[in-house]
Amino acid sequence: MTTNHILTVENLTTRFQTPDGEVEAVNNVNFHIDPGETLGVVGESGSGKTQIFLSLMGLLAKNGASTGSVRYKDKEILNLQPRELNKIRGVSMSMIFQDPMTSLNPFLKISRQMTEVLVEHRGMSESDALARAITMLDRVGIPGAAQRVHMYPHEFSGGMRQRVMIAMALLCDPEVLIADEPTTALDVTVQAQILDLLRDLQTDFNTATVMITHDLGVVAGLCDRVMVMYGGRVVETGSVSDIYYDSHHPYTEGLLKSMPRIDRADEESLFAIPGQPPNLQNLPKGCAYQERCEYVFDRCCAERPLLREFGNGRASACFREDDK
Amino acid sequence: MSVMNKSAKKDASPILSVRDLKVHFPISSKGLFAPDRQLKAVDGVNFDLYPGETLGVVGESGCGKSTLGRAILQLIPPTDGQVAWLGKNIVGAPHRDMQPLRRDLQIIFQDPLASLNPRMTIGEIIAEPLVTHKPELGKEEIKARVKRMMARVGLLPQMINRYPHEFSGGQCQRIGIARAMILEPKLIVCDEPVSALDVSIQAQIVNLLQELQREFDLSLIFISHDLSIVRHICHRIMVLYLGNVAELADRDSIYAAPRHPYTKALISAVPIPDPEIERNKERIVLTGDLPSPLSPPSGCVFRTRCPFAKDKCAQEPPVLERVSDSQEVACHFHDSI
């Protein structure tokens, strides 16, 4: 199948060797990203949503290893040597993280941290690189960019630091921007500013964006397609309206129902998904969601449901679908 | 439930009255003879809390909401003002007078694991308040009460000898709640109790807090930055900005018709998990960041980010004004915006 996908992930599995045995953080994940689209990756802590992208960026912890295939355009990039991978990551694919303070080097001025990549990858001169860094900081809404580029990370507020991170990620005009909970550490009014910025940038640069988040509100406002993760597996994918208005998987349904809504005044108690998120070290036989599912039946405990396609990029991993 | 509460609270007298509460932290200045500066974390807060009521305290980081919660419990000594517990001022009360009151005043923290001593079993953790405040109880009685409370908050009583690290975040928060509830207090300050938890677990903990409130007629001060959760659990809501109350109102009034521009912006900034609504709603996007609390703006502290600020806002600080039975607002122009 020839496609114009920018990123194609096939059968990606990531395992970690731990003192307590092997943990499968990502299990047989398949997806793709097209130019200019925004993919939301939703799941709880430990669902594997971040590990997928650390795997394909070659940023896994030392005890982790991945198998499968990740293609950037037509080039296989999974498990490439760092030298080779560096031609792509930070240049064609960038990633921003939840906590901007820990992702920036506290000892280096912003100018140094921003120009490095341009000098290294683009062969720019120091002065051109600095000019480009200032333009980018200006673009993401940092007032007085020409002065502030010479400051240290601690001199910026949380929201401003996240803007710096975004500016850094966009320096080399990447085709894919992976944002891992970029607004979780921020206050709501600042979050709104950053989300607006991401939306604007996407219109301006047509960057394909992956939004990794646990916040279904953020996904609702920003994403075209959604991928829901549970226990290291994709349990449902679809367009944003499919997922929000016609979810097939009981976990997606439960997640949506358990979100308290600011636009509704309900007197009754919140819908809560019972139980705890699964322990990856000790996943039950069959469906990982069985212990918390309200529709569970015999087959769910005996057999693992596979992701079933319904066309239009719609898929769900639940045996209930067999009856539909 | 909240309807019942609202009617009930009008007759009852407040369990807690806070008057002009201030917490200022001295910040040493550079230079030998330069005077110390004051960080006004909480700068004149007033409210009453009734039995069985939940007051939400919302605001962004650095607005003073946690400091307020701790100052009410005298965990941080207030600089000025009064905190009347059952009609008696407890600000500056000596330790021996505070000690018996602590039975009624409890707190739950944001980070469930960090607030539990890793070297104590959860049985010891939950029992500690009993051992301190009710030394007359025998070992067996204490254990029985701990097990009863564990079952009540949704922990298996046979886990009594396990250590905190063996539990997930949601379960650790249940342990924190059990520890706070074991003395059957009258007031619990909940400081961002669900912020560190996953969505599916948040709902469990919120429901548990609501059940316990009904069962024990608890009053709660629910400190949070999440306005969706606050709408769900609170009867009244106080919006703080740089240590000042911007708005204080009934839940329904504040969400249906916020009067302060900051409240409006806060509510409109919360993403709604519905693509149609989220993409078409009207939003007030604030520019800039929270100013440094060390040098707050003159006049109205919100004016530097307020889209409606006028000259008067820089000159005079607005006072909290009652605009209806259930709503108070601190804004010079609440009528015209």
Q: Which residues of A touch B231 (CB under 8 A)?
A: 260-262, 265
Contact A189 B283 (CB under 8 A): no
Contact B271 A215 (CB under 8 A): yes
CATH of the structural domain A7-92+172-263+275-323, one choice from 3.40.50.2000, 3.40.50.300, 3.30.450.20, 3.40.710.10: 3.40.50.300
Q: Which residues of B touch A292 (CB under 8 A)?
A: 200
- Give A125 to chain B, closest Cα distance, Å: 33
**What are the domain boundaries of chain A?**
7-92+172-263+275-323, 102-171
CB contact set of A7 (below 8 Å; sequence gap of 6+): A32, A33, A56, A70, A71, A72, A93, A176, A208
- Write out pLDDT tens, residues A133-156: 999 998 888 888 999 999 999 988
Distance separating alpha carbons of residues B271 and B74, to the nearest angstrom = 35
- Write out pLDDT tens, residues A266-322: 767 888 999 888 888 888 899 999 999 999 999 999 999 999 998 888 999 999 877
Q: Tell me the two tokens of residue A22.
A: 């092997």
Contact A261 B286 (CB under 8 A): no
Three-state helix/strand/coil letters over chain A? CCCCCCEEEEEEEEEEEECCEEEEEEEEEEEEECCCCEEEEECCCCCCHHHHHHHHCCCCCCCEEEEEEEEECCEECCCCCHHHHCCCECCCEEEECCCHHHHCCCCCCHHHHHHHHHHHHHCCCHHHHHHHHHHHHHHCCCCCHHHHCCCCHHHCCHHHHHHHHHHHHHCCCCCEEEEECCCCCCCHHHHHHHHHHHHHHHHHHCCEEEEEECCHHHHHHHCCEEEEEECCEEEEEEEHHHHHHCCCCHHHHHHHHHCCCCCCCCCCCCCCCCCCCCCHHHCCCCCCCHHHCCCCCHHHHHCCCCCEEEECCEEECCHHHHHC
Q: Does B283 touch chain A (CB under 8 A)?
A: yes
Q: Does B195 touch chain A (CB under 8 A)?
A: no
Distance separating alpha carbons of residues B237 and B169, to the nearest angstrom = 27
List average pLDDT for each run of 10 residues in chain B, which is 337 residues long: 45 90 87 80 94 94 92 95 95 91 93 90 96 93 96 94 92 95 96 89 93 95 93 95 96 94 94 94 84 89 93 94 94 90
pLDDT of residue B101: 93
- Give B95 to chain A, closest Cα distance, Å: 37
Domains annotated on chain B, with CATH: 2-104+185-329 (3.40.50.300), 113-184 (no CATH)
ipTM score above 0.90: no
pLDDT of residue B168: 87
Q: Is B199 exposed, middle or buried (0-12, 13-18, 19+ CB in 10 A)?
A: buried
Q: Does B277 touch chain A (CB under 8 A)?
A: yes
Q: Which residues of B touch A219 (CB under 8 A)?
A: 273
pLDDT of residue A2: 52
Q: Which residues of A touch B63 (CB under 8 A)?
A: none
What's at B210, amino acid-wise? Q
pLDDT of residue B146: 97
Low-confidence ranges of chain A (pLDDT < 50): 1
The residue of A161, A202, A270 whose CB has the most chain B CBs within 10 angstroms, and thus the best one to mutate to test that interface, is A270
pLDDT of residue A267: 67
pLDDT of residue B68: 96
pLDDT of residue B8: 45
- Give B217 to chain A, closest Cα distance, Å: 17
